[in-house]
Amino acid sequence: MRSLEEADLRQAVADVLKGDIEKFESIMKHFQKSIFLYCYHMLGHHAEAEDSAQEVFLKAYRNVGKYKQDIPFGAWLYKIAYNHCIDMIRKRKLARYLPFFYRDEREHKPVDLQIEANYFDEFVHQAMSRLSVEERTLLLLRCVEEKGYQEISQILNQSSATLRKKYERSAAKFRNHYAQVKGVGEYDNGQGPEFEKTFS
């Protein structure tokens, strides 16, 4: 995601808005990995994440004329990704939870294994599946994508103060669910996986 410096990214966006559509390719390369990871964590399926990431960039390309520079381009792009993933979930009729751990072994590819090694284990999958779509999104954007509350507020259309409170509640719920699925009496701040430690 760091393939472009921030100033270069802003210039590329400005060039696209002026009609230099070829510059959109450099923007896409800049965000490609992070948007794929976000879709993967939201949808829990490699093939769907690949297709969704492509669709997100296609939607961004088609609607780039509607982008207003008063918000970061990244926030605008993640908002498109968020709305697309929500649509995918609704189509699956799984709006209450996301099946991170319902996977066919034939779907696994090396990148899946690498992502899972870095972010999730089976207990985290199960604990995350018990959270709402909004709670999961908030934790992913804040802890995996390391976005600030101001940018998240632009993605989710909620105030930073509200999101801070929701984050604290969501993190607490995650810790409780994680302890339950792991079968421990209480959350152990020092023993959980790296992703889960960020919620402590």
Please, what's the b/e burial string for 162-193 (b: 16 or more CB within 10 A of its CB; e: otherwise)? ebeebbeebbebbbebbbebbeeeebeeeebb
The whole-number pLDDT of residue 52 equals: 95
Q: What would the pLDDT profile of 116-131 be if each residue is shown by its tens digit?
A: 444 556 777 778 778 8
Residue ranges of the chain with per-residue pLDDT less than 50: 1-2, 94-118, 187-194, 196, 198, 200
Residues in Cβ contact with 157 at an 8 Å cutoff, skipping those fewer than 6 apart: none
The whole-number pLDDT of residue 97 equals: 40
The whole-number pLDDT of residue 174 equals: 86
Tell me the domains of the chain and their CATH numbers: 1-95 (1.10.1740.10), 101-200 (1.10.10)
